[in-house]
Amino acid sequence: MGVSFYKKRLNSAQYVSGILKGDRILLSKAITLVESKLPPDNVLAENVLEQLLPHTGNSLRIGVTGVPGVGKSSFIESFGKLLTSLGKKTAVLTIDPSSQRSKGSILGDKTRMEELANDPLAYIRPSAAGDMLGGVHSRTRETILLCEAAGFEVIIIETVGVGQSETTVKGMVDFFLLLMLSGAGDELQGIKKGIMEMADAIAITKADGDNVQKSELAKREYQNALHMFPPGENGWYPAVVTCSSLKKIGIQEIWDIIIRYETLMKSKGFFQSNRQQQNISWMRETISYYLQADFYNNTGIKKLLSLKMNQVENGTTPAITVAKEMLNLFYQKPEGSAEV
């Protein structure tokens, strides 16, 4: 298709047929549409998503997290290359919580995953963290669906292991992989128990050269630490492995573990029930998001908010009293009427 086709504003049918054919330019444009804050774009995006829905859900969604420097992009590059060598169309979505605040980006430098970026079976899409109300990125779920409709079989969602983002990503993937560095001595220092509990597998990165022994030690320590947690209700015990993206060691093993997980979870019904739960959460989050947006965009609320915040800060009125007052105002209830 000519360049001018892509420059025009397209209708939903053009998006739908293009994405179903695997047209990457249209896929990228559709993701931009989904991420847009303009209401007409949102309407069009919803329309496109609705039509594509029957063609979604067929991928394996994998979350990869770990602190900056742990080796996420190196891992995804060699893991992604393994997948494309197996003929699997692989999409990588990176969520970068830093980019919004600083305008800079932890994940965004252009040298990341260069080889994979040039692979015809791979598609890499960085996206900035969404606005405050929408959490990490309220649109990543929609982006996953678009990629599935475009025929991607494995979708990797990468996030930096800081703050809220892991919980959000865990809520949109089938398998959650935590990358960890081996360090001298106190291996478990600084690792939040909650993040370890979320992991379906932990991979100790950079297990090569001088680091091999240290990595094996770290592996044993994590295995022992994980033994203290009961298995999840799906009966899965998180796997702990070492790997080297540089030497391509342990990468296949991680893929084998993921496949084993998928097979087991599908046979027990947990794969589907997890996705159903995730969809319900997604619906609830969307409702909360729009309710909050309506509340904070309300003219009356806007006028009063800073005054009321002062009162709470100064301790002149209890927070709960102010909250109820504001909610009553929002719902237009006269003072003294039924409690919110």
CB of 119 to ligand GDP, least distance (A): 17
CB of 114 to ligand GDP, least distance (A): 12
H or E stretch covering 118:
none
CB of 73 to ligand GDP, least distance (A): 4
Q: Which stretch binds ligand GDP (CB under 6 A): 37-45, 61-69, 117-125, 289-297?
A: 61-69
Quick check: 221 binds ligand GDP (CB under 6 A)?
no
Quick check: 127 binds ligand GDP (CB under 6 A)?
no
The residue within the footprint of ligand GDP, chosen from 18, 63, 66, 80 (CB under 6 A), is: 66
Quick check: 180 binds ligand GDP (CB under 6 A)?
no
The residue within the footprint of ligand GDP, chosen from 12, 175, 245, 265 (CB under 6 A), is: 245
The residue within the footprint of ligand GDP, chosen from 205, 257, 261, 308 (CB under 6 A), is: 205
CB of 142 or CB of 158, closer to ligand GDP: 158
Quick check: 81 binds ligand GDP (CB under 6 A)?
no
Q: Which stretch binds ligand GDP (CB under 6 A): 122-130, 241-249, 274-282, 313-321?
A: 241-249
Quick check: 74 binds ligand GDP (CB under 6 A)?
yes
Q: Give the three-state DSSP class for 142.
A: helix
Instruction: List contacts with ligand GDP (CB under 6 A).
Output: 66, 68-74, 205-206, 208, 244-246
